[in-house]
Amino acid sequence: MVTGFTARLVRLMNEKDSLLCVGLDPALPGQRRSQTIAREYPKRKDENQARLAFCLEMIDKTKDFCSAFKPNQQYIAGFTRKDHVELTSAIRKADAVSILDYKLNDIGDSMESALFHIGKWGYEALTLNPFLGNMEEAIAVAHKHRPEIGVIVLTLTSNPEAVVYQKEAILGGRPLYQAIAQDVRKYGADGCVVGAAGHITEEDISAVRGIIGEDKVLLVPGIGAQRGDPMKVIVAGGKNLLMNVGREIIYSDNPKRIAEKYRELFKKTR
Q: List residues with catalytic annotation.
A: 103
Residue 121 CA to residue 70 CA, distance in Å, equals 14
> Nearest-CA neighbor of 57 among 37, 75, 72?
37
Burial class for 254, CB neighbours closer than 10 Å (0-12, 13-18, 19+): exposed
Between CA 57 and CA 74 the distance in angstroms is 19
Q: What is the spatial distance between Cα 115 and Cα 166, in angstroms, rounded to a whole number?
A: 26
CB neighbourhood size of 113 (10 A)? 11
Which of 243, 250, 264 is closest to 67 using CA atoms? 243
**Euclidean distance between CA atoms 255 and 119, whole angstroms:** 29
Residue 124: closest CA among 99, 144, 102 = 99
Q: 21 φ, ψ to 5°?
A: -115, 130
Q: What is the DSSP letter of 24?
A: E
Find out whether 161 and 131 touch, Cβ atoms under 8 Å. no
- Between the two ends of the chain, the Cα-to-Cα distance in Å is 25
Q: Which amino acid is residue 162, in one-letter code?
A: A
CB atoms within 10 A of CB 160: 10
